[in-house]
Amino acid sequence: MTDLVTFGETMALFAARRTGPLRFARDFDLGVGGAESNVAIGVTRLGHQATWIGRVGADEFGDLVRATLLGEGVRAHAIPDPDAPTGLMIKGRRTADLIAVRYYRAGSAGSRLSPADLDPDLIGSARILHVSAITPALSAQARDAVRHAVQTARAAGVPVSLDVNYRKALWSPEEAGAWLRDTIGQVDILFATVPEAQLIADVTDPLELAKTLSSLGPRHVLLKFGADGALELSDDQVRQASAFPVTEVDPVGAGDAFAAGWLADWLAGATPDQRLRTACAAGAFAVTSQGDWESLPRRPDLALLTPAGDGVHR
């Protein structure tokens, strides 16, 4: 058994160390990144058991993905694909304030995920299934995998969590919106920014937008406002939380951290106010260093965002 099951594509990540046009970069940091595996790591660090499923190439980068997730305590079902490579993500800093991310994932092992790769008994025994709208954009068979997983979870009474995670490089707003509107009725928990939520419903006011989304099915709707905090509509109750003031180094992965913090506290039975606060804290930690997941907090870290003294902990 596991607390959370998730699946998707995790890629090798090359991050340029030099600021400026990527063609002038000479040194890169090598790591891994993927929205769903970021959530799995975040939930694990906050005290729960998470399982990630995905396909990787039978190559060094696939080995890196597997070793990284296992090293973080995630139960990694990394299925080696001898006929396709591990996808790549290249991250460059064009200016001090602008990060550009490029994906090389067409025909990758991760895009070949299929329903046959997903163990229905594993999904049915989980406490929650977490998916993102990245996976259905990768290929038709990956889209089938998401549908199969959601249907399996619902048949077993397992709640379904969905993070919109819209990627314009993968599909158009019209394609994404159509899939989201078709799927949202099967979702219990929805995470989105306001622009992402507007792919589903053309509503401007955030509160009215959350109410519209909730009327379509989700019991919990989480809208993320970045540095302006977040809003949660759960069981007809509205809550808002402010963001924690931190110095931003790398914003990539903040949304995954937010979802991981909220889901971890939901699994722990925390109060609605506490889980929203933890989600905002996890999102704040994620942006404080380079990398998509490296700064995700553990439970003792959460207290560090409370201002104290000169900022030095001895």
Residues noted as catalytic: 256
Yes or no: say if 30 and 290 are a contact pair by the CB < 8 Å rule.
no
Instruction: Tell me phi and psi for residue 150, to 5 degrees.
Output: -65, -45
- Using alpha carbons, select from 10, 98, 11, 82 the residue that is nearest to residue 52: 10
Classify the phi-psi angles of 53: left when phi > 0, otherwise alpha if psi is within -120 to 50, otherwise beta.
beta
Yes or no: say if 24 and 18 are a contact pair by the CB < 8 Å rule.
yes
- Using alpha carbons, select from 33, 4, 30 the residue that is nearest to residue 16: 30
For 235-242, the CB contacts below 8 A with 24+ separation are: 237/272, 238/207, 238/210, 239/272, 239/273, 239/276, 241/273, 241/276, 241/277, 241/279, 241/280, 242/280
**Cβ-based neighbours of 80, under 8 Å, separated by 6 or more:** 55, 56, 57, 58, 62, 109
| Helix residue spans in the chain (DSSP H) | 35-45, 60-71, 120-125, 140-155, 173-183, 194-197, 206-215, 254-268, 272-286
Give the 3-state secondary structure of residue 187: coil
